[in-house]
Structure 1
Amino acid sequence: MLNCIKCNKELPDDANFCSNCGYPAGSVKTCRSCQKCGATLSTIDNFCSHCGMPVVSVQEAPDTSSLEPTIKTKIDVYPTMIRIEGGNFHMGGKFINSPVTLSDFYMSETLVTQGQYAHITGKNPSKLNGENRPVEMVDWAEALIYCNMLSAKNGLTPCYSIGTETKLSQFNTASPIWKRVACNFLASGYRLPTEAEWEYAARGGRETKPYQFSGSNDISKVAWYGENSNIESHDVATKEPNSLGLYDMTGNVNEWCWDFFANELLMTPQINPRGPSIGTLHVKRGGSWLDDPQQCTVLYRTGSTPNGKSSNLGFRVCRSIVNQ
């Protein structure tokens, strides 16, 4: 059913004219209000039906329902880094309660976008294309390769190496050799966040607030997730940031972390923890456009095989602050 835009009578969907007042209906759409009296005008009006004021220009209002929301920050070809002040927190919440101390570090303001990834690697593997959407269909090794390439591009010391080799793009990402990859956390280059760094930043750092999601208890304000995403990713930074100015820590795409996944966190105090020394899965955090709210909380933990790829899995980058 539709309603007459003049008298509001309910009309059948295929009506061309209102049966009550005779006003055109059907495909005739509201385009503006009368500048004199405010009456509603349609696309066929030349004069206001209420006061007779001439309609100078009649133009159908554009359909903006499919447009992407506005990006709230500037997206450069290189990730914008935000300094995160270190501190103490209890990782995992009140039931797990793992005491952790972290040093200061940098974290990228947004997820790595498809445009940023292509600028460094020359390719875009993503399934849900968009220059400012998060890059996805990237496995764990490919995220490390991007980090080293980005470091070299910016004159920084790469963090990752296999033996003495830091040009990791020469290695097949499915090769067992990736079990030998090491991270130099004292290097100045880009790297994946540790799981502890990710959770600390998602929860607001030193000013941690007891939010379920990163920056709010209202998931729709800060995240693209299963109930509002239209089953796809979205441009980064179109939802609200958390208190540290980080966007999409909840939702849009899951995020790779450096650590091997462990079912349980250690209960003993730790300084700058980097996860187990061995494992078969790597941590991913944050939830995605495909997930329920329960999978998007700042405490939800899961893992994926290192060669796992998905249209709802991407990453953001960190940097250590050397000589601190």
Structure 2
Amino acid sequence: MHKFALTLALTATMVVSAAAAEVTGISPTKPESGPYVKIDSGFMVPYEITIPGTAVKLKMIPVPGGKFKLGSPESEAGHAAAEAPQIDVEVPPFWMAEHETTWEQYKPYMDLYESFKGFNSDRIREVTDENRIDAITAPTPLYEPSFTYEHGEDPQLPAVTMTNYSARQYTKWLSGVTGKQYRLPSEAEWEFAAQGGADTAYHFGNDPAKLEEYAWFVDNSDEAPHYVKGKKPNQYGLYDMHGNVWEWVLDQYSDEGFARLEGKQLKALDTVAWPSEPDPLMVKGGGWDDDAESVRAASKMGSSDGDWKEEDPNIPLSPWWFTSYPSTMVGFRVIRPLEELPKKEAVKFYQPDIEFLNLDVSDRLIEGRGVLGLVDPELPAALKKAE
């Protein structure tokens, strides 16, 4: 090769490697140990960040892309109609939080309510039609904390009783302050990650005899949630994918399962049943009070606003909080896709197109019982300045 051409080639390689090194979670070289996913620009690797403006850590684990069968076969113990028919899905690579969102990770988002109120009062960082795409609502303070904190609020316990809407707004806050696209997983992404590369009911096989090694469920939980990472992880290094708390995903729940998708060539986001009604919305993975069949990878449950807000003293009922069982064992975890969508397309991850919900939130804001604020990389500095 000509010396000049060789120099250009080496320079181009160095630039690509430097660019890869600058992307959080991507290494230009293969790690000597630990999980990784080979991609065109290098290797997806685990990473840990401090959430900007907090002292809170978030650790993300790479999940490889691949094809799998979404749902469960009729022969699987616990199989339900909502898990059928099985369909072939291609899942692009992504990072997933190694455990459910904890109170330590959720409370900084809860604290934004008072901060946003102060900004609005001082006419600081005002939300306009031009920047509204970067705005979120913060959850209102708990009117009766004993419902949400029935099993405590230890920082390492999974956060619970937030609505699907509130979980989505949390992911938008996280995206805004980090500059990376975090969101809830789709059902397909969640299930693919839970299986850990297996094609069985649990990531370790079909026999639940080993479940106690990996999950908190009715047989060993003592009727309460447990600290995250208290059991063994799956093959990808993800903890508590079976049991402890149910986890929100993007999808609307339906007993009709995947009939609408049968025979199609699908990627993960193609499978999403984008919500159009307030409930039932979908949670996955089972909780501490569920039996072994309910914590399978394919297991799912639909939410019920009426039942899950039965003890809510607010009128109208809160769009941010549930109060009643089984919401006391419902939480979530975040993912970050390798390939991000443009901001205008990503809106669907954070603000579901549910007319009743959007009207409810809008009414709350008008009445002063809710608050809107901007989330961007400058927010942490603004919060510090306002202290």
Relative contact order: is structure 1 or structure 2 higher (C-alpha 8 Å, sep ≥ 6)? Answer: 2
The answer to whether the aligner puts 1:118 opposite 2:97 as a matched pair is no
SS at match of 1:138: coil
The CA distance in 2 between the partners of 1:219 and 1:99, in whole Å, is 26
Q: Report the equivalent of 2:91.
A: 102
Does 2:198 match 1:208? yes
Counterpart for residue 152 of structure 1: 176
What SS class does the counterpart of residue 79 from structure 1 fall into?
A: strand
Report the CA distance shift for 1:215/1:110 in structure 2 as closer, same or farther (over 3 A).
farther
- Paired with 2:71 and 2:289, the residues of 1 have a C-alpha distance of 23
Name the % identity: 31
* Superposition deviation, residue 293 in structure 1: 0.9
Matched residue of 1:190: which SS?
Answer: coil
Aligned to 1:79: 58
**CA shift at 1:317, angstroms?**
0.5
In the TM superposition, what is the alpha-carbon distance from 1:239 to its structure 2 partner?
0.3
- Going from structure 1 to structure 2, the CA distance change for 1:110 and 1:75 (only over 3 Å counts) comes to farther
Q: Which residue of 1 aligns with 2:155?
A: 131
Alignment of 1:292-307 (within 5 A): 292-305=291-304
What secondary structure, in the 3-state scheme, does the structure 2 residue paired with 1:118 have? Answer: helix
SS of 1:145's equivalent in the other structure is: helix
Structure-to-structure mapping, 1:1-324, within 5 angstroms: 77-95=56-74, 96-122=85-111, 125-129=148-152, 130-154=154-178, 156=179, 188-204=180-196, 207-210=197-200, 212-215=201-204, 217=208, 218-263=210-255, 264-265=257-258, 266-269=261-264, 270-272=266-268, 273-277=270-274, 278-279=276-277, 280-305=279-304, 308=308, 309=322, 310-322=327-339
Deviates more, 1:253-262 or 1:126-135: 126-135
Q: Which amino acid aligns with 1:268?
A: G
Q: Secondary structure at the match of 2:157?
A: coil
- Shift in CA distance, 306/107, structure 1 to aligned 2, threshold 3 Å: farther
Q: How far apart are the structure 2 equivalents of 1:143 and 1:245? A: 23
Q: 1:105 to 1:191 in 2, by over 3 A?
A: same
> Secondary structure of the equivalent of 1:201?
helix
CA deviation string 1:107-138 (max 9, x = no partner): 11000001111133327854322110100011
- Tell me the number of residue pairs that the alignment of Structure 1 and Structure 2 aligns: 216
Q: Is the 8 A contact 1:260 1:283 kept in 2?
A: yes
Contact 1:140 1:306 in 2 (8 A): no
* Counterpart code for 2:195: R
Give the SS at the match of 2:58.
Answer: coil
Q: Residues 132, 323 of structure 1: CA spacing in aligned structure 2 closer, same or farther, 3 A cutoff? A: closer
Deviations 1:247-301 (A, max 9, x none): 0000100001011112211322311234224343211010101111111111212
Superposition deviation, residue 93 in structure 1: 2.5
In the alignment, the residues of structure 2 paired with residue 222 and residue 75 of structure 1 have an alpha-carbon distance, to the nearest angstrom, of: 26
Contact 1:126-1:137 within 8 A present in 2 as well: no
- Structure with a larger share of its residues in helix: 2
The one-letter code matched in structure 2 to 1:193 is: P
Partner deviation per Cα, 1:86-114 (whole Å, 9 max, x = no partner): 11111113342211111111111000001
In structure 1, how many angstroms separate the alpha carbons of the residues matched to 2:183 and 2:212? 29
How many Å separate the matches in 2 of 1:306 and 1:215? 34
Structure 1: gaps of 5 or more residues: 1-73, 157-187
TM-fit CA distance, 1:318: 0.7
> Structure 1 residues 133 and 224 mapped into 2: Cα distance closer, same or farther (>3 Å)?
same
Please give the root-mean-square deviation of Cα atoms over the aligned residues, in Å. Answer: 2.3
Per-residue CA shift, 1:216-257, capped at 9, x if unaligned? 541101111111111100000010000000000001000010
What is the rounded CA distance, in whole Å, between the counterparts of 1:223 and 1:233 in structure 2?
Answer: 11
SS at match of 2:57: coil
Indicate the structure (1 or 2) with the bigger Cα radius of gyration.
Answer: 1
